[in-house]
Amino acid sequence: MMSPMQDEITAAIATDLGITELPIDTQKELISQFGEVALKAATLSVIGKLAEEKRAEFATLAEAGDAMALKTFLDREVPDHEEIAKAAVAEEIKRFKEFQAEGTDKRSNK
């Protein structure tokens, strides 16, 4: 069971995604699903900037679960990785919201 604070976080993310009108459990489920998309999109955008020979090193560090080592690595190899990832996530949010809006519009035009 989530704490009220975690529910607040859920609500904040739901607002970002435009799914606040949905039941809370559905919101969490969609956030979970969208999180995977965001994670993959952000990761792919960063990996895409890495030289091929560095990608294996990135994967190894990521799988080892050492955030600091990974951060240090990315700071060195892709100095603007945070901005790149942010842009990728923002793009996914935009895409998701547009899709939501399209779904609503289609229904309205029926």
Partner 1 sequence: MDNEGPKNIIKEVSDSMPQQPQSPPDADALMASWEERLKDPALTSEEIEKILIEIDDTESLWSHTEKGKEVNNTPAVNATQTAELEKKSDGAADAANLPKVGEKVEEEDDLNKLFSEEPLQVTKEPTPQSGSVPEEDDLNELFSDFALEQSPEEKKISDMFIELSEIYGYAIPEDVKIDFDGCVFNLKNCDADLKERFTTRLEAFVAEQREKMEKREPSEEIKPPVEPEQPQKEEREGEDTTKERKEKLGDVVDDLEKATREENERKTKLAEEETSRRSEEIDAEAEKMGGVVEKFFRWTGEKYNKLSTREKIGTGLALGLGAGGLMAVSVPVALVFCGGIWVQRVAGAASTFMKYENATLPHDEERKDTFWKWGAKEKAMAKTMGISAAATIGMLVLAEGVEKGVEWLHHYWPDHTEISADAPTAPAQPAAAAAAGESATVASAPEMPAVYAHASPGHGYEYMLKRLWEQLHDNKQLDPSKYAEGSDIHKLLTADAASIDTVVHQIASDSGHGFFNADGTSVQINLDDHIFIAPDGQVHMSHEFYNSGPVQAPENAPVTPAYPPETAPAAPEITPPVGEAATDHLSNKIYSEGSNPSVLHGSADYPLESHTPPIEEFQPDKVTFSHDEVHTRIFPEDGNQEREVLESIKTYADDYTELTVSEDGRILERFMVDPEGHTSRYTGGDTFVPASEDQTADVKNAIEHAHRDEISAPQPEAPAHAQEIIQQSGSGEVIQEHADGIVVNQSGLKIPTDKPHFYAGADDKHIFAYGGGSAEEKLKAIKEFLTQNLDKTVYSADANGEHRIPWHITPQGELVGVPEKTGGIFGWFKSFVKPPEPNEFVKLIK
Least Å distance, CB 78 to partner 1, is 10
47 binds partner 1 (CB under 8 A): yes
Q: Of 100, 77, 78, whose CA–CA distance to 88 is shortest?
A: 78
Indicate which single residue of 24, 49, 67, 80 sits in contact with partner 1 (rule: CB under 8 A). 67
75 binds partner 1 (CB under 8 A): yes
Least Å distance, CB 2 to partner 1, is 6
49 binds partner 1 (CB under 8 A): no
Termini Cα distance of the chain: 40
Ranges within 10-39 binding partner 1 (CB under 8 A): 10, 12-13, 15-17, 19, 21-23, 26, 28-39
Q: At what angle do helices 52-64 and 24-49 cross, to 10 degrees?
A: 140
